[in-house]
A and B are shown apart, each in its own frame.
Chain A
Amino acid sequence: MSIVSSLGAGQDATLDALRNGRGGLTPCRFETATLDTHIGEVAGVGDIRLPAGLEGYDCRNNRLAELALRQDGFEAAVAAARARHGAHRIGVFLGTSTSGIHSAELAYRERAPDSGALPAAFRFATTHSTGSLGAFVRRRLGLAGPAFVVSSACATSSKVFANAARMISAGLCDAAVVGGADSLCLTTLYGFHSLELVSPAPCAPFDLHRGGVSLGEGAGFALLERPGPRPPPGTVHLLGTGESSDAHHMSTPHPEGLGARLAMERALAAAGLRPGDIDYVNLHGTATPHGDAAEDRAIITLFGTRTPVSSTKGYTGHTLGAAGIVEAVISVLGLRAGLAPGSPQTRDLDPALRSRYLQANESGRMDRVMTNSFGFGGSNSSLIFGWAA
């Protein structure tokens, strides 16, 4: 697996930031945005060049994906899997919410004054289109199995684990590349601003004074394979996935966290586990007043007040369509390192929230971790990772 966020590129940089409490949020200087907020921007995206032959896919989102593909030996791991299974037996299931929309934002500024036509250099299919990320990564890795992009808002790159597990279980492939990328753009910066969900200060999930999200960007990938009879020690398993819909409101979560609880319950049921089997929950925890309260309700109802939980969005910001994979990788890094991460800006815990929320890191052996991702449209996804049962 590989990861890129404002904490840096790669697993080591990510884990180092978590261990040392070094967050990635900085005042917003993105492009021409004039918003009083902090963002988790990935350094150096502008300098990334896509490999020869794939230049047509060039946009911020695919550059971010390219940066993640270069980390943590991911390309080599996929090449080895390709040699084992064959390119056509490896699927590609990726998530993004806004894909390369920033290319379209720039193209609209350069419309012809007379006709309104977009500039000739604008490539809709390979940059703007939601499917662009899947097409790029599939070609980049030389894979030919089934492929699509999931775009279920901020749950999307968590849900791809479930899509891939189904495809492997149904026999359509033997392995799958999952994950995704979501890059900063004006649409989400100004869109979240319009909903009054953005915090001026770096976000502080579960804090009494939390004032909304800090937006971020990120990318990450994981290679899933059908488990063999004797997996090597240290192999991390996807133990369960759970998906649900809120059926409540387009941009506000169910106040009791009903959809959130259903997703967690379904993941536990799929894994054959009880709530007490989970050693740490990485929350969706975007630091909006309503969102954190709803998730807290769901956690309390299901886990009570003893299971350690935290949101790592105070580190990375809300990476939207990439949050699922970024936080899945963070959860697995925590599992491996025996580290349940704290929450950098969270100083005064909201007394109305009763989960055992970690402000500081806790160390110790963990066997199973859960990670939550919830999105607009009431789309919810929970994943459970752990050592082999």
Chain B
Amino acid sequence: MRAFVEGVGLLGPGLAGWEESRPVLAGRLPYRPAPAPLPPSPLLPPAERRRSVPTVKLAMAVGAEAMAQADRDPAGVATVFTSSSGDPDTLHQILETLASEDRGISPTRFHNSVHNAPAGYWSIATRSHAPSTSLSSHDESFQAGLLEAMAEVAAEGWTVGLIAYDLPYPEPLHAVRPIAAPFGMALVLTPEPTGRSFARLDIALSDSGEPPSRMADDALEALRAGNPTARALPLLAALARVSAGGAGETVVLDLPPGGRLLVTVGAP
């Protein structure tokens, strides 16, 4: 399956946006982890902005960055959202309420708890009636989202925004499901090259068991291993190198059990 990349969004510790992070990912500047702020999206109407939770803020931020770079009106772009989890804080608060005497859940909290809450807010903010799907596949949630986004491009001929995000849980959930730090990324993928395409992706499934790609920098490798969405880091690093004129390269992503997703990144 083939698609062309028009835009990238990125937000994680020490990775405040795609443009700023490219030299770090390409290995030309050192990586310096620092907490990434999560501002509410200016695209949202005031009521939704007030109600938005961290997953919504993260997803909106990376999605908006990728769309702006692609110079696309998001209203016409199909979306694939993917995350290993719904909003971690919301989940914790609901579980805590249900374990108490008074089980009165707040209605806003309940609607924010659905896995597709970021997709709902996105559609409201961008006035998009385009198809949208929200996926989850535990540690391979990013890979699942990439596969679905590529299949939408290949089988439907749609322009697709892939928006992936994962945030840490508060305790006591953190102890049973540790996630290192907030990390989100987005890609705008098209079926044909456009004037804004800066890379081409060719994707294939494999069961030949190649070792998954890792990050050379220890801290980035810890981030990759510590957040399901950060499994995208080797692909982002390849995009950073190729978009800076580097040769094409193939990234190997894990697709348990035993499978691999081979992503060849080249010039458009």
Contact = CB atoms under 8 A, between A and B. Distances in A.
Interface of A: 88, 97, 104-105, 108-109, 111, 115-118, 122, 124-125, 129-132, 134-135, 144, 146-153, 159, 162-163, 165-167, 169-172, 186-187, 190-192, 194-196, 243-251, 258-259, 262, 266, 375-379
B154 to A, nearest CB: 4
Contacts of B144: 146-148
Interface string B161-189: 00000000001110111000000000000
Nearest to A245: B123
Interface stretch (B11-19, B24-32, B61-69, B91-99): B91-99
Contacts of A186: 98, 103
Nearest to B150: A170
B105 A194 contact: yes
A251 B121 CA distance: 11
B105 A191 contact: yes
Contacts, number: 209
A245 B106 CA distance: 24
Contacts of A135: 138
Given A111-B99, A117-B172, A118-B172, A376 B111 contact: yes
A160 to B, nearest CB: 9
A82 B48 CA distance: 47
B98 A247 contact: no
Interface stretch (B128-136, B212-220, B237-245): B128-136
Contact of B120 (A144, A148, A191, A378): A378
Contacts of A378: 120, 123-124
A56 B155 CA distance: 36
Contacts of A130: 84-86, 115, 136, 138
Nearest to A186: B98
A194 B143 CA distance: 36
B133 A163 contact: yes
B129 to A, nearest CB: 5
B114 A131 contact: no
Contact of A122 (B114, B119, B131, B176): B176
B94 A379 contact: no
B247 interface: no
A227 B148 CA distance: 21
Nearest to A116: B172
B116 interface: yes
A377 B98 contact: no
26 contacts: A88-B259, A97-B114, A97-B115, A117-B175, A118-B173, A122-B176, A144-B207, A144-B259, A148-B147, A151-B115, A163-B133, A170-B155, A172-B151, A190-B104, A191-B110, A194-B107, A196-B107, A243-B132, A245-B119, A245-B120, A250-B111, A250-B112, A376-B114, A377-B120, A379-B120, A379-B132
Contacts of B141: 131, 148
A186 B96 CA distance: 12
Contacts of A375: 114, 116
B126 interface: yes
A27 to B, nearest CB: 18
B38 interface: no
Given A111-B172, A170-B155, A195 B111 contact: yes
Most A Cβ at <10 Å: residue of B96, B110, B141: B110
Interface of B: 1, 48, 51, 84-86, 91, 94-96, 98-99, 103-107, 110-117, 119-121, 123-124, 126-138, 141, 144, 147-148, 150-152, 154-156, 171-173, 175-177, 205, 207, 255, 257-259
Given A148-B135, A190-B105, 7 more contacts: A105-B95, A118-B173, A150-B134, A151-B136, A192-B110, A195-B110, A250-B120
Contacts of B147: 146, 148, 167, 172
A108 B97 CA distance: 10
Contacts of B112: 250
A377 B136 contact: no
B123 A247 contact: yes
A246 B150 CA distance: 24
B136 A148 contact: yes
Nearest to B152: A166
Q: Which of B105, B113, B129, B207 has the most CB of A within 10 A?
A: B129
Q: Which 9 A-B pairs have the closest CB atoms?
A: A377-B120, A151-B115, A191-B110, A243-B131, A148-B144, A131-B138, A130-B136, A245-B123, A108-B99
A243 B144 CA distance: 19
A336 to B, nearest CB: 28
Contacts of A187: 94-95, 98, 105, 110, 113
A171 B151 CA distance: 9
A151 B145 CA distance: 12
Contacts of A194: 104-107, 110
A196 B106 CA distance: 11
Nearest to B141: A131
A308 B136 CA distance: 36
B86 to A, nearest CB: 7
A69 B154 CA distance: 31
A116 B171 CA distance: 8
A170 B205 CA distance: 12
B136 A125 contact: no
B131 A377 contact: no
Contacts of A251: 107, 111
A147 to B, nearest CB: 7
A247 to B, nearest CB: 4
